[in-house]
Chain A
């Protein structure tokens, strides 16, 4: 029969009506709604049991103890481990997202020579060639590690130089080390027993020293109290986080820290506020007042406040002899609550050799911005390529939690510590540490394990200190050095007893001149990698909380 338009219309209408009595539309509706709720291209977290592993952060010298949540063999979360005697479970903001660093887009995945990809063998050949042609320099960013031992002895064997790139906190101690002719690394701050801290721009609450150590001290003894047990006087041009959290903030003109320190010293001496005698600084109070922008009375009051509640610790943000010298006047050197000696075998490396270096090798712990002086071939170990680097060779180093290492005493610590950080991850592509690289060239170098054993032996023989883990075990109660190493490898931290603060002879022939070097404070400054975890970078990009950091120019 012939189908008329009318039949067609009726048919369609019937069909549409009929469809609604079939499951088809409802199933479609259901599927659509489910699809709209999870798009296939949106990544979903891995499923699987979550376990927790103990580890240590190796991204700065502080070596904070970590609890790493692992799922399906990958780190999925990080928190501090409260058993650590110094960090007490605190972490810096960057640490909480560090577990994502290894997948950062700028991760260095292959050996690169002048921007082109190369092989490990080529790199090794090139370095051996350099060694044969002249002295090489080895730069270590974090001395005192087992790896450092290897680096150092390599330099010694090849009569090259072994240099340490010091951090700001360490540089700040340099003058005192010089006057007391002690290595920098055997000096520390006894913050726990001090009553007044005078900080010349040191970012105490913003990444200074060991995360958690000072901040917790501050929050227990200083925060928000009108007359706190611990007085913090922050002297700096602009109000910083530390200034806001301090007991007093003293705004002074840029670069006049040394002058102010001198004038304070003058007042302390002239008005007999301190018993210790020292050479009279040349600076006059009136002059200082003009330069610093403070009134003479203000400076005088400041001097009185400083002397009032001792022990008083004077900190500078970076190397500044004039500021450091105040500690001598206030008798804070070698006294409880001041600058104390700690058991540490590290010594300041020897001076540079006569003839210029043929090549220099930078360990991955050396801050990215470090620029070797002079023209030589540069071998740079790094896990991330921060860009703008002039190194001839970029050598991929292990990333976060990928390098087994030991952790010597962190800067600013009053007592010696020792810990061993296991590697709980392995890089999916060939990486080497500087030490491993050198070991391949010179097999006589001490291996990591040898040095670690030796160190454990030594600690065991000293029979001092305690192992801090879930519970505390005095070293004396340990059967052998092996047991000690075992417990350290299991995540324990050895904490030495406070060294006797006496025997820190320190004399001043004349009042030192100030060094204007000043460093702007931020967590990012003590941070060795050139990049920050994406989630930490959010702070700078997606909120107005922080201004983008100026990284320290070592």
Chain B
């Protein structure tokens, strides 16, 4: 064995079968390359300014904001699984809990990183904490995401400390031992924060009085999109987690969790998706028939511009909403792994499409009588930066899987599956 392999081996938990060092390196290499390239692109944007992107005064939000909204929705699995396990005591989901934490951490930290590139003056980002405008959804989002990111890091800490070498250091081990007793508290806090900022992310667009395509009726201080986003996020979270675990199983060729756990995830996803689709349909009807016309915008106009025809609405609600919901709820389809995964994929696509419509179509549509319908294609810098986040996710998850007890020890003792 080469020295590198020896060192590598030393960090892998005893009795865990992992790919050879060489194989693992080969797997990581392309992702690292992509990450490096993305970081270079982001560097360009930070150094030369956002003229490196294809965003403009009319398309002030682009690929990055879409990515942030999507990624954070996908990361909802983290808080929601924690919520299910610790608050609702759904113990059988415990095996996927650590995976959920890693996914969550990756998604949120990735989103924040991209945001830092997206804003024109990253060094002033902290001003939000100094002069916060309490009426802005974005303030709520900023506060919640920052707090929740801290929570996620803390939740990830115990998992990290379970690494074979780290736990040999007594103080680390003891801390982990003590800390993971209190993790339910964090899970509760995380759930609270997440419910809020997932909502606020929806609110971001629902409050845009100047953009009748996005503007929605308000309950109390929140537009309906606030609640729809929470619903869609907790609906897609489990599906995405399911896909991640399935992918991990496919790549490692091991059975990492019981099939029943995946089905359970699918079922939860399905039920919530069903509720979401119902709510979304009602909301859409109200918006098309009351909200929008009342400010002088005939609903059909929104769908008069290709490629954003009314088909997109159908796809969003029926094809990628109702259909997967049914597939996930029916026991017969859920029992088949193929159908289960297919439905999960549809669910994710549905939420992605929803975020896309809200971010991109909203800006593409004209508001003034003499506006045109706008087109926007992200520059390679934008795409590369986005790619870096994906690569970052894959790398962090791969490393975590290799060196940390993501799915508990195969030797079964799971009294120490640390959470989060």
Contacts and interface: CB of A to CB of B under 8 A. Distances in A.
A477 interface: no
Interface residues of B, number: 5
B124 interface: yes
Contacts of A35: 123
Contacts of A275: none
Interface string A19-39: 000000000000011011100
Contacts of B171: 6, 9
A504 B225 CA distance: 78
B134 interface: no
Contacts of A6: 171
A34 to B, nearest CB: 11
B47 to A, nearest CB: 13
A192 B54 CA distance: 51
B310 to A, nearest CB: 30
A36 B120 CA distance: 11
A9 B127 CA distance: 32
Nearest to A35: B123
A275 to B, nearest CB: 49
A36 B130 CA distance: 15
Nearest to A36: B123
Nearest to B170: A6
Nearest to B122: A36
Interface in B110-154: 121, 123-124, 127
Contacts of A36: 121, 123-124
A32 B127 CA distance: 11
A483 B111 CA distance: 76
Interface in B380-406: none
A393 to B, nearest CB: 41
Contacts of A9: 171
Contacts of A37: 124
Nearest to B127: A33
Contacts of B124: 33, 36-37
Chain A binding surface, main DSSP class: helix
A257 B171 CA distance: 96
Nearest to A32: B123
A6 to B, nearest CB: 8
B175 to A, nearest CB: 11
Contacts of A32: 123
B374 to A, nearest CB: 13
Contacts of B127: 33
Interface string B85-129: 000000000000000000000000000000000000101100100
B286 to A, nearest CB: 37
A35 B123 CA distance: 9
B172 to A, nearest CB: 11
Interface string A24-67: 00000000110111000000000000000000000000000000
Contacts of B123: 32, 35-36
B188 to A, nearest CB: 28
Q: Which of A32, A35, A36, A37 has the most CB of B within 10 A?
A: A36
Interface string B3-17: 000000000000000
Contacts of B121: 36
Nearest to B125: A36
Interface in A1-15: 6, 9
A6 B171 CA distance: 9
Nearest to A29: B126
Interface string A223-244: 0000000000000000000000
A33 B124 CA distance: 7
A528 B151 CA distance: 68
A290 to B, nearest CB: 37
A284 to B, nearest CB: 44
Interface in A56-96: none
B122 to A, nearest CB: 9
Interface string B360-389: 000000000000000000000000000000
A221 to B, nearest CB: 28
A331 B127 CA distance: 74
Interface string A340-372: 000000000000000000000000000000000
A6 B121 CA distance: 40
Contacts of A33: 124, 127
A385 to B, nearest CB: 29
Nearest to B169: A5
Interface string B314-350: 0000000000000000000000000000000000000
A33 B127 CA distance: 8
A37 B124 CA distance: 8
A7 to B, nearest CB: 13
B271 to A, nearest CB: 47
A35 B121 CA distance: 12
Nearest to B123: A36
A37 B171 CA distance: 44
Interface string B145-179: 00000000000000000000000000100000000
A33 B128 CA distance: 12
A323 to B, nearest CB: 35
A9 B171 CA distance: 11
A463 B157 CA distance: 97
A417 B127 CA distance: 60
Interface string B171-215: 100000000000000000000000000000000000000000000
Interface in B260-282: none
A65 B294 CA distance: 51
Interface string B54-97: 00000000000000000000000000000000000000000000
A538 to B, nearest CB: 14
Interface string A315-333: 0000000000000000000
Interface string A398-416: 0000000000000000000
A383 B127 CA distance: 48
A36 B171 CA distance: 41
Nearest to A544: B372
A6 B169 CA distance: 11
B127 to A, nearest CB: 7
B371 to A, nearest CB: 12
A33 B122 CA distance: 11
A281 B127 CA distance: 78
A39 to B, nearest CB: 10
A554 to B, nearest CB: 37
A37 B131 CA distance: 15
A36 B124 CA distance: 7
Interface in B205-260: none
Nearest to A9: B171
B177 to A, nearest CB: 18
A425 to B, nearest CB: 34
A373 B1 CA distance: 88
A35 B124 CA distance: 10
A37 B121 CA distance: 9
A37 B123 CA distance: 9
Interface of B: 121, 123-124, 127, 171
Given A32-B123, A36-B124, 8 more contacts: A6-B171, A9-B171, A33-B124, A33-B127, A35-B123, A36-B121, A36-B123, A37-B124
7 contacts: A6-B171, A9-B171, A32-B123, A35-B123, A36-B121, A36-B123, A36-B124
The 10 closest A-B pairs by CB, nearest first: A36-B123, A36-B124, A36-B121, A32-B123, A33-B124, A33-B127, A6-B171, A37-B124, A9-B171, A35-B123
